[in-house]
């Protein structure tokens, strides 16, 4: 039985034997609380944490408990996993709710079901700003989108990733408004100052955050003016995790998400979860301890549910959220990948990308990267800090500008503005779209770039607009004055269906070529996240990866020509340690013959080739 298809019960069953926490696990969870709050406070709140876990367990049907016993954490993610990222209302249709339109669209296109097995629905809660990331009620579905029933209906067909936007809450939320009203229940829910001067210039200078606005925002409360910590915007009020009640409320909410069908929990902006004046307030030890606590709780009461951390920071800091490989996130965004791939195509040279990919570390067989190229925000630049020289980052930014990208900034530690993100669709970032190139060439370049996120170890993630090849929506940016809206236009579902049936359309060409790569990837265990990979330096113009299945019984050589020139490769089979004579290109469906221990492969501009030894194909057929 598929563990991800078993729903939770709608009511707790306390007639069954109650949940029992082993002494070893209880101690590990208590140690997390102890490190965060001290021994006395941890002892006070530990019973409440156990109660939350016990309640969650009571919602689990026996068949789910039984299925969890067969779970192999090393196969939590496989080559079958491809995640589609979308807003709940990105598609417009005639249905009563946008979530119904999304479900019907996915059902209308059976080929999508063949290439996508997981949906990341961006925040679908009631919100006041930031396209869903300023949440008013963590435990409700925005009625303009649909209901929990709509979410659960999608869970019957796809695995689901939910956003846990727990760093902050909307200024219009009940909790914040009640704090302003003087309700003592919310007294320590937020970080509040009576004067902005309580946060000294020295303390302010240390704070790292991805914005240029003041970190403190003034509000009028029942007791007069107050200044509240706002990492992102005046409408996004940071929660105070130094209050254990905040942590327990968030943990309970996380488990509610699991009961509604969450298979992956995305910890949004977790970098800034814990504020401690006098520090950077970014990726603090306490933040890592909170992630460890979430992981420990989930491993006990929902072991099939994985955590992914969204930390758009320099690469070394980003991968710290793997912890020791067993105690924090199972998956981490590979934020260095998008700007590096774009840079690779701008320079028509794979050297920087290959050297970086060679050094990627995978700390355990239960962790992996989330390999994205585009997201709902844009192309972050923090991931390549210390990977590319500043002069090359400047080149990347200027070239993206020429392609129509907007640039977003943050305040650096020197107090100067620093480029943080390039706001553009992936298609426009790669293609000028000025009529100087054929659509065929633009699509081929686009698909070649997307293939790189498919061949590297990890789980591919594709933003909906990336799947369709949407171009920049500059008019929307001019209308809303929000740079990120360049990558967030709503689409008419019926129009997409019609374009998907027209071979001359960009949508048809991209979905067929890109969709073919996605379909192929899911068929071959060599692309398993635990499959071995070796980055080959065959030619500066070609990104080459040698993938081997976990069982070592399947080998695929992936080649991506990142230039508009024809390239001929002479590949030494001795160096490859694979003396096969006959090879088959899964993409072009043609054979290649090696001679004198050398495989000669000719690649046209922006060609993608996935070569497998022919004997291995024969073995697959024999099975």
- Cite the active site residues: 268
343: its two tokens: 């840079």
257 close to 162: Cβ distance less than 8 angstroms: yes
Cα torsion 294, 299, 301, 303 to 10°: value is 120
Instruction: Give the number of other CB atoms < 10 A from CB of residue 66.
Output: 12
* φ, ψ dihedrals at 551, nearest 5°: -85, 0
Contacts with 479 (C-beta within 8 Å, 6 or more apart), sequence order: 485
β-bridge mates for residue 308, sequence order: 266, 331
Q: Where are the beta strands (DSSP E) in 213-261?
A: 216-221, 224-229, 236-238
- Report the distance separating Cα 470 and Cα 453, nearest Å: 18
Euclidean distance between CA atoms 168 and 273, whole angstroms: 8
* Cα separation values, 133 from 136, 168, 231, 272, 557, Å: 9, 9, 13, 14, 41
The residue among 288, 314, 307, 309 whose CA lies nearest residue 208 is 314
For residue 438, count other CB atoms closer than 10 A to its CB.
Answer: 9
Report in angstroms the alpha-carbon separations of 237 from 205, 218, 253, 268.
Answer: 20, 11, 18, 14
Q: Exposed/middle/buried for 206, CB within 10 Å: 0-12, 13-18, 19+?
A: middle
Contacts of 482 (CB under 8 A, 6+ apart): none
Cβ atoms 418, 408 nearer than 8 A: no
Give CA angle at 359 (353, 364), nearest 5°: 125
**Spatial distance between the Cα atoms of 212 and 574, rounded to a whole number of angstroms:** 54
Spatial separation of the C-alpha atoms in residues 273 and 264, rounded to whole Å:
19
CA atoms of 137 and 149, how far apart (whole Å): 17
Instruction: Calculate the CA 437 to chain-centre distance.
Output: 32
DSSP states along 281-316:
-SS-HHHHHHHHHHHHHHHHH-TT-EEEE---S-HH
CB 217 within 8 A of CB 176: no
């Amino acid at each position: 039985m598929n563990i991800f298809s078993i729903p939770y019960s709608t009511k707790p069953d306390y007639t069954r034997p109650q949940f029992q926490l082993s002494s070893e696990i209880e101690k590990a969870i208590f140690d997390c609380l102890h490190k965060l709050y001290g021994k006395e406070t941890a002892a006070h709140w530990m019973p409440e944490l156990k109660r939350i876990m016990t309640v969650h367990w009571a919602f689990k049907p026996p068949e789910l408990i039984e299925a969890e016993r067969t779970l192999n954490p090393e196969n939590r993610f496989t080559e079958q996993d491809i995640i589609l990222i979308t807003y709940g209302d990105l598609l417009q249709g005639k249905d009563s709710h946008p979530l119904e339109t999304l479900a019907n669209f996915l059902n209308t296109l059976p080929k999508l079901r063949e290439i996508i097995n997981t949906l990341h629905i961006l925040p679908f809660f009631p919100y006041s700003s930031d396209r869903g990331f300023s949440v008013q009620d963590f435990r409700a579905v925005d009625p303009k989108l649909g209901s929990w029933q709509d979410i659960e209906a999608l869970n019957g067909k796809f695995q689901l990733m939910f956003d846990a936007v727990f760093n902050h809450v909307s200024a219009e939320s009940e909790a914040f408004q009640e704090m302003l009203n003087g309700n003592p229940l919310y007294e320590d829910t937020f970080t509040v100052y009576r004067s902005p001067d309580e946060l000294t210039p020295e303390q302010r200078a240390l704070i790292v955050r991805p914005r240029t606005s003041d970190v403190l925002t003034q509000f009028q409360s029942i007791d007069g003016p107050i200044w509240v910590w706002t990492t992102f915007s005046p409408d996004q009020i940071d929660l105070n995790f130094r209050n254990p009640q905040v942590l327990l409320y968030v943990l309970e909410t996380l488990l509610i998400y699991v009961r509604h069908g969450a298979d992956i929990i995305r910890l949004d902006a977790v970098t800034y979860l814990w504020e401690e004046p006098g520090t950077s307030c970014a990726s603090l030890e306490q933040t890592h301890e909170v992630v460890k606590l979430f992981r420990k709780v989930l491993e006990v009461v929902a072991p099939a549910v994985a955590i992914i951390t969204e930390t758009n920071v320099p690469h070394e800091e980003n991968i710290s959220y793997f912890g020791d490989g067993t105690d924090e996130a199972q998956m981490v965004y590979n934020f260095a990948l998008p700007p590096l791939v774009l840079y690779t195509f701008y320079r028509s040279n794979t050297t920087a990308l290959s050297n970086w990919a060679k050094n990627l570390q995978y700390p355990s067989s239960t962790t992996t990267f989330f390999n994205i190229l585009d997201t709902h925000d844009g192309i972050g630049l923090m991931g390549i800090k210390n990977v590319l020289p500043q002069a090359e980052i400047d080149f990347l930014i200027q070239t993206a500008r020429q392609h129509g990208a907007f640039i977003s900034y943050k305040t650096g530690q020197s107090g100067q503005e620093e480029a943080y993100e390039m706001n553009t669709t992936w298609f426009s970032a790669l293609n000028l779209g000025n009529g100087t190139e054929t659509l065929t060439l633009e699509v081929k370049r686009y698909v070649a770039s997307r293939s790189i996120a498919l061949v590297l170890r990890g789980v591919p993630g594709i933003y909906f607009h990336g799947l369709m090849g949407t171009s920049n929506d500059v008019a929307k940016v001019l209308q809303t004055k929000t740079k990120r809206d360049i990558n967030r236009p709503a689409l008419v579902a019926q129009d997409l269906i019609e374009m998907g049936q027209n071979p001359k359309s960009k949508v048809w060409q991209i979905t067929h070529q890109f969709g073919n790569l996605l379909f192929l990837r899911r068929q071959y265990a060599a692309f398993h996240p635990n499959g071995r990979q070796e980055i080959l330096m065959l030619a500066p113009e070609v990104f080459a990866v040698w993938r081997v299945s976990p069982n070592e019984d399947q080998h695929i050589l992936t080649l991506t020509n990142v230039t508009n020139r024809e390239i001929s490769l002479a590949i030494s089979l001795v160096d490859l340690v694979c003396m096969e004579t006959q090879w088959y290109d899964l993409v072009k469906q043609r054979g290649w013959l090696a001679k004198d221990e050398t495989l000669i492969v000719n690649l046209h501009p922006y060609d993608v080739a996935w070569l497998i030894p022919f004997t291995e194909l024969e073995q697959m057929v024999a099975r």
